[in-house]
């Protein structure tokens, strides 16, 4: 057998998330279907992690195994010819036998985009932002500083997956240089994220940016470990999985 590593981009709008579902359209499902055409039988694809319904990716990583003898096979071109246009293979190549897209991931970076004008959202951006209205960036950045570092993020984990420890290290939360005064982009990097953790951190930061929560209250929520004390999960379409880092 040989192991192939894929880097994937997708627009999450019309997917019910990454993970295979019996009857819903998912990214994993589309990939496994395209691969089964090429390989003539069922194929299991392992992603770095699930993305939720409506969440996008620029650099999702996945792997699969196939029988030997396909060295030099044009995986990228062949898969892109079979996949629908809302998911694309950006890169494909041989991986080490012990490479594992999920268990080998050392850190991930997500981006969340906000739209700040209350009376309209640009049609061209509507699938990629959450129109939260005006916020105070400095207050959001103060909240981000509280949330950065090694913490127990139980207050920012939605129910549904038992992952054991809820301690994670958020290495950075940064606002990118704006390409429009009406939009802002926030990058979250961590050694791993709990279920809907980015969307819950963002909900807390926006509540702070709207003046509905003080930085001290953010600290209290984080320390409480109690999901019910934190603001609601923000919508999925603002979120994009940017990259996954591997290696020792």
Cα-flanking dihedrals φ and ψ of residue 82, to 5°? -100, -25
Paired with 152 in beta bridges are: 167
Interacting residues with its own copies between 164 and 193 (CB under 8 A): 179
Interacting residue with its own copies among 22, 40, 72, 123 (CB under 8 A): 123
Paired with 87 in beta bridges are: 10
Interacting residue with its own copies among 68, 119, 162, 216 (CB under 8 A): 119
Interacting residue with its own copies among 10, 110, 112, 156 (CB under 8 A): 10
Q: Give Rg (Cα) of the chain.
A: 19
Confirm if 38 and 78 have CB atoms less than 8 A apart.
Answer: yes
Determine the length of the chain. 248
| 98 included as an active-site residue | no
70: helix, coil or strand? coil
Interacting residues with its own copies between 41 and 60 (CB under 8 A): 56, 58
Pairing of strands 105-115, 130-131: parallel
Residue 87 in contact with its own copies, rule: CB under 8 A: yes
Question: Where does this chain touch its own copies (CB under 8 A) — which range of 84-92, 187-195, 205-213, 216-224?
Answer: 84-92
10 assigned to a ligand binding site: no
User: Least separation, in Å, of the C-beta of 227 and its own copies?
Assistant: 31
Q: What angle do CA 150, 142, 187 make, to 5 degrees?
A: 65
Tell me the catalytic residues.
52
Report the interface residues with its own copies, using CB under 8 A.
9-11, 56, 58, 76-77, 80, 85-90, 119-124, 126, 128, 179
């Amino acid at each position: 057998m040989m192991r192939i590593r894929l880097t994937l981009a997708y627009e999450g709008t019309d997917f019910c998330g990454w993970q295979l579902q019996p009857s819903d359209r998912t990214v994993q499902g589309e990939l496994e279907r395209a691969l089964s055409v090429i390989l003539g039988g069922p194929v299991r694809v392992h992603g770095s992690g699930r993305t939720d319904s409506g969440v996008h990716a620029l650099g999702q990583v996945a792997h699969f195994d196939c029988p030997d003898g396909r060295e030099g096979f044009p995986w990228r071109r062949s898969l892109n010819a079979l996949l629908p246009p809302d998911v694309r293979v950006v890169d494909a190549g041989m991986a080490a036998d012990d490479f594992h897209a999920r268990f080998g991931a050392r850190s991930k970076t997500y981006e969340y985009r906000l739209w700040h004008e209350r009376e309209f959202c640009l049609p061209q951006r509507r699938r990629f932002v959450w129109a939260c209205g005006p916020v105070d960036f400095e207050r959001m950045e103060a909240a981000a500083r509280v949330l950065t570092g090694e913490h127990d993020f139980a207050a920012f984990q939605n129910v549904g997956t038992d992952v054991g420890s809820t301690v994670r290290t958020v290495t950075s939360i940064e606002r990118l240089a704006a390409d429009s005064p009406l939009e802002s982009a926030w990058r979250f990097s961590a050694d791993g994220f709990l279920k809907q953790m980015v969307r819950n951190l963002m909900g807390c930061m926006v509540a702070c940016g709207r003046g509905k929560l003080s930085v001290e209250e953010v600290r209290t929520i984080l320390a409480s470990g109690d999901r019910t004390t934190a603001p609601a999960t923000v919508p999925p379409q603002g979120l994009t999985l940017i990259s996954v880092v591997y290696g020792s």
